[in-house]
Chains A and B, each alone.
Chain A
């Protein structure tokens, strides 16, 4: 007899959300396994923020349900979940510590506040007025607020938007440390590099539906048997005649998608293309994302 499948910490079933005549989410279903970092990806308008906000309980669904540990998400879910919104105003004239203390008091289950402050590197900012925080400091405070109840499941909505590269890397390390304590993380992000670095499993949404779901590496293996050769456009103004592999021009580069790198390189060399700046790389999550959701700008 097969072992029973463990109950996911979160299950979304047939979720639909209409805004007037516009159907933003079109009956999606997925499970979030325990103790993983789960990424919800999609271009602008894909419905991912709406989906996450329905799960968080801040936006009502038109239909469908969200199950937390097998039961409809309710009061227990609010006690057990932590939420970091992409943007959330805080009260003016209140310090970082006072803000954390206020949210800390809203929960029955509470984390060690000093630990939260330390984890989020907020020690030097404790007495600073919320209004005087930089973008990165503010995001760390919002994360701290999301952690005050020692959540079992943590929602991070575009947590590194607006951060500089150093702050982003630091934030990823922080998320890794939180995850290492057995927390489940649901991450919404535009940054594919971030999703690839942090997520064990992802869902890619487009126009209100899920277009693919799985572990990033498995998805890449399933979708691509090829590798990518990159050359600057200036080195390859025109493709050699009868070149058998598809190519795309993107961001000043020519990308050649091929399952036979030797053959492609031989043909390029034979056509006199300089190969000194040739770069060979595997497919990345960003390639999959663009292939599945399209490359055109979203309105």
Chain B
């Protein structure tokens, strides 16, 4: 990919959005399903794999809680990535609307 900010997968995009507030894995799973009105149902293995990759990239971080379940939250870097993705999605959306509905 030659772009500076390659497109995120739908799963990663939603996981990052879910982590604007601290959540554990299951919390992410529930919120993503709710936000997408049941369309995006991420598998537990997929979420866990994504969490590990996002931690490595420092787009999210684990909170040192005393609770049993580990919680995660998005980092400043992660927020930047989401902003770029929103711009990209807007470009796709605008071009789509412009071409399919004239200048709409």
Instruction: Indicate, yes or no, whether A interacts with B.
Output: no
Binding site for B on A (CB under 8 A): none
Binding site for A on B (CB under 8 A): none
